[in-house]
Amino acid sequence: MRIYSEHPIQNDLRLLYANALIDRATALHLSDTRAWRTLIHYDSFLWITRSEARDKEKKGDFFLSPQGERDPDSELKATIRALFLDTQSTEPARCRFPAREIYLVRELGIDTARLAPVTCREYDGWRKNNATVSASIVFASFFMGNPSSLFGHTFLRLHNAHGNALLDASFNFAANAPDDENAIVYAWRGMTGGFPGLFSMHPYYVKINEYNDMESRDLWEYRLNLTADELRFLEAHLWELSYAYFPYYYLDENCSYQLLALLEAVRPEVRLNSRFSYFVAPTDTLHTLLENNFFTGESQYRASSATRYTTFYENATPAARETMVLLKENRTLPQTHTSDDTQAVDILLEYYKYTNEYNMALWPDRDKEHYQKLLAWRAQVPHENTLENFVRAHAEDNPLVGFKSSEIAVGYAAQDNLGNAMTLRFRPALRELTDASRGFSPWSQMQMMQFSFAYFFEKQHLRLEEANIVDIFALSPWQAHIHKFSYRLRTGFYRHDALQNYNAATLSWDSTAGIGITLLPFKMVGFFVLAEANAYVTPAWQSAARIAPSLYTGFKFNWSRAFASTLSYRIDYAFFSPTLIEQKIETRNALAITHSTALELKFFYAWAAVETLPHTTRLDAMRTDASLKLYF
């Protein structure tokens, strides 16, 4: 940083000019404009205004006024003064807040020759190294192996003038959480803003390695429709945000929310974030930007290591697959050089990359040695890798063609022991197993905060059917010699209507954890079986608590990307409860009608064996539901 030596009167003249500009800003009510408030990330709710940003490490990192976090006008005036008077700091205000300078010069018609004379070596050097010519939003697909990645992830990519992705920069907003954080503590702190959220910059290839290779997540890139001035402002504001942190909230003020807030600062005339939305999903970010003309229509797809391997395996010849298995089991090389041999080696190379760590130094010695021999063999064979042609983007896998995450459903139910009812269900995120799988995995379910109600006409009774806190159901089909466990986690309030005649208080707090396997007897049919542990708490069990191991099994049918069904059976046997056995057969069917609507039909039959000394009583219930679902 070079500080200029100048006559003291210059400082007085700049102060006079700054004060005149403050008067002009006051007359224009500039601190009340949406542009200024989005730039400083102010949020107003119930007549209380406060910035969502915080000083990163010490007072003054992001807010130039001591009252700046809660007072937009005070921060505006402090910024104007600092742009003219801050010449002695090791990092003057003009270097720390270039986006504020751009905004104020434009709105107040500032004579830039009268600003504080400084040289911003760090900021100017950073911009020169980036050499940014365009930007993209990148979506990393859903990753069921980590609770923080169940909804997918969005981040920003800046394309450089050299046209080399290895030199591009990426900007990621994420919670700064310890690597060894307990999963339960992580979930709680993530829900309550207990982690600081930070924007961080990485070379783009680092994010490719992290998501594509280490976590096996596909990447979808969407080019942003930004002018040269907007692109410069975006860079400038990203630099400013390096001096701030934001309380991270897993559901709303997450990576997607802050990405939209960043782009709102670039185009303040467009409202991207809703103050009344309590859940922001990464896929909804894409829909919002598309609807507000932020995309050029140009996109790019990068397949993960898992997608590459399974695509290679599924499209290879049967002979190539057999050869691949023999080579893997015997750790040998092909004795011939046929096209089938070439395909087998190409598949096996992808298999090793998918099933091992990204860092080859951590591979088992046998895998590493065989992989290197296969590479040497492949280098001597001129056959083209024809399987590479199958690794491409498919229109129905694009997240932009999927439905939005929030759902409201209105329906009609018929229940044998309660009569007919009108039903209403609301779910902010994300999808059921039978929802249309366009843009999503057909083998996953992730639901949070779902509430269902029913009004029974004959009894004139409105009741809460379900309050689902979280319901995760991840099916991992055993295919292409990859065997991963399926799992289910569920907790919330649920009904046990088979007990209706035994005790009216059938709403119980249920918690379920299960693990099992999923097989593919046919390409579009999955058969799953899980062993589960259940804990129920309700007066319906008399002793108030019920512990029950259970078996949960069934089929998932993917008739098409718009039509899916499940058929399931569940049985549990309880300890510490007079309700010994409870069983349930259920079928669900969902058909997408449009991009935002679907029809759903459900049927279940449940029965329970209850010990009522000296006998055991059987109770049962049967119900049919039909509903229209709207995604928004």
* DSSP calls for 160-197: ETT--GGG-EEEEEEE---TT--HHHHHHHHHHT-EEE
Residue 575 DSSP one-character state:
B
- 553 pLDDT higher than 70: yes
Predicted confidence (pLDDT) per residue in 258-292, tens digit: 999 999 999 999 999 875 466 788 999 999 999 99
Neighbours of 551 (CB within 10 A): 16
Per CATH, domain 402-631 is 2.40.160.40: yes
Contact 586, 603 (CB under 8 A): yes
Q: What residue type is assigned to position 390 of the chain? A: F
State yes or no: pLDDT of 151 exceeds 50: yes
pLDDT computed for residue 2 by the predictor: 42
Q: Which pair of structure tokens corresponds to residue 14?
A: 């700049």
- What is the average pLDDT across 301-315? 96
| Strands 597-612 and 615-631, sheet pairing | antiparallel
Unique residue bearing structure tokens 């400083």: 40
- In the chain, where the domains are located: 2-119, 130-300, 305-390, 402-631
Rg of the Cα trace of the chain?
Answer: 29
Across 115-124, 393-402, 562-571, 578-587, least confident range:
578-587
pLDDT category of residue 191 using cuts at 50, 70 and 90: low
pLDDT in tens, 94-118: 999 999 999 999 999 999 999 989 9
Least confident range from 193-197, 320-324, 389-393: namely: 193-197
Q: Is 155 exposed, middle or buried (0-12, 13-18, 19+ CB in 10 A)?
A: buried
Per-residue model confidence (pLDDT) at position 118:
92
Lowest mean pLDDT among 50-54, 243-247, 408-412, 494-498: 494-498
Q: What is the pLDDT of residues 501-526, one digit of tens each?
A: 555 557 889 999 999 999 999 989 99
Residue 542 has pLDDT above 80, yes or no: no
Reported as a single tens digit per residue, the pLDDT across 383-436 is 999 999 999 999 999 999 999 999 999 999 999 878 999 999 999 988 999 999
What is the distance between the alpha carbons of residues 217 and 212, in angstroms, rounded to a whole number? 5
Q: What is the pLDDT of residue 524?
A: 94
Question: Phi and psi for 73 in degrees, rounded to 5?
Answer: -70, -40
Rounded mean pLDDT of the chain? 91
pLDDT at 1 over 60: no
Could you tell me if residue 412 is left (phi over 0), alpha (psi between -120 and 50 degrees) or otherwise beta? beta
pLDDT tens sequence across 56-109: 999 999 999 999 999 999 999 999 999 999 987 888 999 999 999 999 999 999
Report the pLDDT value the prediction gives residue 500, as an integer from 0 to 100: 66
Residues 6+ apart with CB under 8 A from 163: none
